[in-house]
Amino acid sequence: MLLNRGRPSVALDLKRPEAVQTVLELVKRADVLVEGMRPGVMERLGLGRRTVRRSMSGWSTAG
């Protein structure tokens, strides 16, 4: 919890379309997007690389 001090957080049910739209709006202002899902899950939820890339100003495929 020490690392999260002073950082805002939000909990969303990504199976709801309005939550996916909220994530896409937040990504427009975010510095990074870190997700820990299994491969393919973000795509199924509508938040895959191609979808999110359109909302971000930069993109990296570190790893």
Q: How far apart are CA 28 and CA 10, in angstroms?
A: 15
- Hey, where are the domains in the chain? 15-55
Task: Tell whether pTM > 0.95.
Answer: no
Tell me which DSSP letter residue 15 carries: T
* H helix or E strand, kind and range, residue 28: none
Question: Per-residue pLDDT tens for 4-62?
Answer: 788 788 899 999 999 999 999 998 888 778 888 899 999 999 999 888 888 776 555 55
Q: How far apart are CA 29 and CA 44, in angstroms?
A: 23
